[in-house]
Amino acid sequence: MSSWRDRFNHFSGKTRFVVSRLFIHLAGQEIAPLLGVFNQVARETVDADGDLEVLGEGLVTVCQNLLQMNTYWQAAGNEGDVFWNEGDAADYINELFTDSGQRYLSEVDFTQLQADEPLSLPVTKNLVVILVVAYEGEVADLETNLADIEALEYGLKALIDLHYQEKLRAIQIHFSPAKLGDELNDEQLLVNFPELVPL
């Protein structure tokens, strides 16, 4: 990912910002409990009003749960870009946020969550997690193709490390479907997440 321009900007002392988006598709009856974990993270994030430390802890929770469920990983994909201007990086983050939020049922609507929902809700067999981060510096484990099980494991661990190294500048977490009772079928998966590559 290192170009002549990257090397020139590095030598001139400019800060390198990377914006990275990662998609992970999990499948199986056993993945439904993850929705509860992710919704708890989403609630805490909303309550914290975007506090980056709380967002980072939420990201760590999501990554740890994904690593524990690696036997259910079906596909992954990633994309990103390098910026030497913080404003350009912020614009790209906003663009990815809008795009991720428009994916099939990937927005949590807390006004619709009912405490007394029936226990006989349908259980989705597909779950897609979308993680977007912006960080300073260079992380080889994130700046490579993550559509490989080993590379994906290293990438998720790198995200955890970035939080503890305090290098994250922005974090977004989306997941589809966003709540228990919603389903994501195979056709919707193909239409809404073309970036996914089978693992």
Q: What is the rounded average pLDDT of the residues 165-185?
A: 86
CB neighbours (10 Å) of residue 155? Answer: 24
Highest mean pLDDT among 24-33, 44-53, 109-118: 24-33
pLDDT band at 183 (very low <50, low <70, confident <90, very high): confident
Mean pLDDT, rounded, for 38-57: 88
Q: What's the pLDDT band for 142 if we cut at 50, 70, 90?
A: very high
Under the banding of pLDDT at 50, 70 and 90, the label for residue 45 is confident
| Whole-structure pTM value | 0.85
User: Strands of 197-198's sheet, edge to edge?
Assistant: 168-176, 126-136, 17-27, 73-83, 197-198
User: CA torsion 155→79→25→49, rounded to 10°?
Assistant: 80
Give pLDDT, residue 2: 46
